[in-house]
A = this chain, B = another copy of it.
């Protein structure tokens, strides 16, 4: 069967849980059409998360890579349109806090997602989940792995579609962390499953 690499993150900064970890664990091994989901949870560490996801791509040779990130404050499923060649932001779990650094000094300024982002948002809304294309994945780890995998796949000329999807907080995270919009884990998981369905039908 053809493979989908689905990644989430461990909890980061001052959050205690990360709904992306729960979602990818729930979808691990899921079979859809001719495809099987292989899930992997990344550490909140600029260097390690990039290294680990590229290792996974080499190792399992997926034809689709979908990475999930938490966007606390958003209240829709938001596939990202573009990854940009910048690292900038708060300290990661290792204390690393880059300012306006390039991810790859020879890389282009940006890479568009190669997932069918418009079809994904249209399909999500048809099946009842609010969705929107986002035009910025930020400059933190989420953008970093999106850029790195797109750059790698381009340079290695791999037959692999790559993209990133930000999701809202879960109810559990909102209760612990406070004042952010949230969905139930059930809704988050169903919505990501719907995303993978559209992508595999395209693939």
Contacts and interface: CB of A to CB of B under 8 A. Distances in A.
Interface in A59-115: 75-76, 81-82, 84-86, 99-100, 108-112
Contacts of A129: 171
B82 A128 contact: no
A130 B110 CA distance: 27
A159 interface: no
A130 B174 contact: yes
**How many subunits of this chain does the assembly comprise?**
4
A85 B135 CA distance: 11
A201 to B, nearest CB: 19
Chain A residues touching B, range: 20 to 34
A58 to B, nearest CB: 24
Contacts of A111: 109
Nearest to A180: B75
20 contacts: A76-B174, A81-B84, A82-B84, A82-B109, A82-B110, A84-B110, A84-B135, A85-B112, A99-B118, A100-B118, A108-B108, A108-B110, A109-B112, A110-B110, A128-B172, A130-B171, A135-B136, A135-B138, A183-B183, A183-B187
